[in-house]
């Protein structure tokens, strides 16, 4: 099926109500809030719950409209930023190539030597449909792909900085030029840490009141309208804050082992939490108790291959995303029996890494090993594979490597010999495109199959790292939360990882931050 045909199969044709935002703003004016609650009770226009990328974007959008905004962040100042802090800052949006980017990303001498393939909205939508097996909400998808670049540019104008991600998304070529790949080309300057520093600085410039160490314990509702929140502070004090609108951006439930076991299934309590330890689902549950409709896929999540044995391999604010092991398309992955169990080359890393963590979780001990020989090792990202304390064993032979990682040498040797012998080496190996260089074994390796022959050999121990859960609240494309009675809950909005419906089973890398920005901006504009 052609790309256009695939896209139209997954997405119907839409019409856009151009003036819907303006109309909704009138419908949710401050006068209606005063009638519902009494103007004297209002202490702030907008409360945002959660201080990650989506929450800050919503706060910015409300503040530039002149609304008074309080952002409540559960973490202390030195633990703030939600999952966004732990990311590499990669942001997926549609664009027309390098000429569409160079005027606003950080300047770099390499730009003149760089090829960036266009990434049109249609291709973005097709990627979402492909990796979620068509389970992505078509309306949310349409808005994301159409508004992604405009939203990133808007944030850049406010003061967020972006750069081309050469070290993660480009390969250098023999002539000294660079080729970007995988539809994901731009990221925040300074990664997730830089993203949150920029957001925090912009919030200060816009007069947003950011309150750290505030745990939201419930939603306050009167006359079928959300009018505020209850909270406790890090000092143990309790309080309430009233507002015209409440925007929920407090993430999913990945740091709650009981909820992970309940919704994701047996064994998920053992997954390592990659990001913030505060996404325990409590705010999500509070919304459900109020009658909010659950949205999206509550049975799957974003999970990756994660360093298995490093000290402090959960919620590590120093190493953050560097504990990810994303170089697997270049080598092979084996379990403790020395067997391969997935297709390492099914697609570019950006389209498979978020679903392969769960495959590791299924293996004995929830452990597997990424295996490379010397030429492959030289191509691995330095930021992920070169650091003190990494879980790696090195040996001059496969037999010695097997002994070091506790795998039967004959089993591992047999797997690698069968793999090597099955490759048609007349096909050129090219990591910049899906080269069709297949290893004809079971399971196959569909691209980038290269024999492991040249020592030293390397085995990186990986386990399952959980990033965020895909289940959330159901809303329209403006973040208005749907009530189980069929109406929207007045005064309540949602964005970020709490918004359900975009992702299921998998997601295209960088689309999480993009979605947080797009729907955070929409919710904040309406709130």
What CATH code is carried by the domain that includes residue 168?
Answer: 3.50.50.60
For residue 319, the enclosing domain spans: 302-466
294/346 same-domain check: no
Q: 0.75 exceeded by the pTM?
A: yes
Q: How many domains does the chain have?
A: 2
Q: Assess if residue 261 is contained within a domain.
A: yes
288/351 same-domain check: no
506/382 same-domain check: no
Tokens found for residue 351: 């389209």
391/436 same-domain check: yes
223/330 same-domain check: no
Residue 347 has what pLDDT?
Answer: 97
- Mean pLDDT over each residue of the chain, to the nearest integer: 93
276/422 same-domain check: no
475/462 same-domain check: no
Half-sphere exposure of 156 (CA within 13 A, CB side): 20
Mean pLDDT along residues 240-252: 98
**Which CATH number goes with the domain that contains 438?**
3.90.700.10
Q: Are 392 and 404 in contact (CB under 8 A)?
A: no
406/497 same-domain check: no
313/432 same-domain check: yes
Q: Assess if residue 19 is contained within a domain.
A: no
pLDDT confidence band for 413 (50 / 70 / 90):
very high
The tens digit of pLDDT for each residue in 428-453 reads 999 999 999 999 999 999 999 999 99
The tens digit of pLDDT for each residue in 181-206 reads 999 999 999 999 999 999 999 999 99
138/102 same-domain check: yes
The residue from 449, 466, 483 where one domain ends is 466
In sequence order, the 6+-apart residues with CB closer than 8 A to the CB of 300 are: 264, 358, 470, 504, 505, 506
The strand pair at 214-222 and 209-212 is best described as unpaired
206/307 same-domain check: no
Q: Assess if residue 17 is contained within a domain.
A: no
343/387 same-domain check: yes
Q: How far apart are CA 488 and CA 493, in angstroms?
A: 9
Q: Assess if residue 27 is contained within a domain.
A: no
Look at residues 185, 184, 241 and name the one whose alpha carbon lies nearest to residue 214. 241
Look at residues 228, 203, 264, 249 and name the one whose alpha carbon lies nearest to residue 466. 264
Q: Assess if residue 247 is contained within a domain.
A: yes
């Amino acid at each position: 099926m052609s790309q256009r045909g695939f896209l139209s199969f997954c997405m119907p044709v839409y019409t856009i109500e151009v003036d819907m935002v303006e109309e909704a703003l009138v419908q949710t004016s401050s006068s209606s809030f005063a009638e519902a609650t009494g103007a004297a009770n209002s202490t702030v226009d907008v409360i945002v719950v959660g201080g990650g990328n989506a929450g800050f974007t919503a706060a910015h959008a409300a503040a530039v409209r002149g609304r008074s905004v309080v952002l409540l962040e559960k973490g202390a100042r030195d633990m703030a930023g939600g999952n966004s802090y732990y990311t590499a800052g990669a942001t997926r949006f549609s664009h027309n190539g390098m000429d569409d980017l160079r005027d606003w990303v950080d300047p770099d001498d390499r730009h003149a030597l760089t090829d960036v393939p266009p990434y049109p909205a249609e291709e973005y939508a097709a990627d979402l449909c492909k990796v979620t097996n068509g389970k992505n909400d078509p309306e949310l998808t349409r808005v994301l792909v159409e508004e992604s670049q405009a939203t990133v540019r808007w944030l850049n104008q406010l003061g967020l900085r972006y750069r081309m991600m050469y070290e993660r998304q480009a390969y250098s070529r023999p002539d000294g030029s660079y080729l970007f790949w995988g539809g994901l080309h731009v990221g925040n300057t300074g990664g997730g840490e830089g993203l949150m520093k920029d957001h925090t600085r912009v919030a200060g410039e816009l007069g947003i009141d950011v309150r750290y160490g505030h745990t939201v314990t419930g939603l306050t509702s009167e006359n079928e309208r959300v009018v505020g929140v209850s909270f406790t502070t890090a000092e143990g004090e309790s309080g309430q804050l009233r507002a015209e609108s409440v925007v929920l951006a407090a993430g999913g439930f990945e740091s709650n082992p009981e909820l992970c076991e309940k919704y994701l299934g047996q064994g998920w309590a053992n997954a390592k939490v990659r990001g913030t330890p505060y996404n325990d689902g409590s705010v999500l549950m509070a919304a459900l108790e109020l009658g909010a409709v659950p949205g999206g896929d509550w049975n799957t999540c974003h999970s990756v291959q994660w360093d298995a044995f490093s000290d402090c391999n959960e919620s590590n604010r120093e190493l953050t995303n560097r504990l990810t092991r994303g170089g697997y398309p270049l080598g092979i992955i084996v379990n403790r029996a020395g067997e391969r169990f997935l297709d390492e080359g099914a697609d570019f890393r950006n389209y498979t890494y978020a679903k392969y963590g769960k495959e590791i979780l299924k293996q004995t001990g929830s452990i597997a090993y990424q295996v490379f020989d010397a030429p492959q090792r030289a191509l691995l990202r330095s930021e992920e594979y070169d650091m003190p304390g990494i879980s790696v064993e090195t040996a001059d032979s496969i037999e010695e490597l097997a002994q070091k990682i506790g795998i039967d040498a004959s089993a591992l040797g047999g797997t690698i010999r069968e793999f090597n012998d099955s490759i048609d080496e007349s096909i050129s190996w090219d990591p910049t495109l899906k080269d069709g260089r297949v290893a004809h074994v079971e399971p196959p390796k569909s691209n980038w199959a290269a024999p492991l022959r040249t020592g030293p050999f390397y085995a990186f121990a990986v386990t399952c790292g959980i990033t965020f859960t895909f289940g959330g609240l159901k809303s329209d494309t403006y973040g208005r939360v749907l009530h189980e009675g069929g109406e929207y809950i007045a005064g309540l909005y949602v964005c970020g990882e709490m918004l359900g419906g975009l992702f299921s089973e998998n997601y295209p890398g960088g689309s999480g931050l993009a979605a947080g920005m797009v729907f955070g901006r929409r919710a904040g504009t309406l709130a």
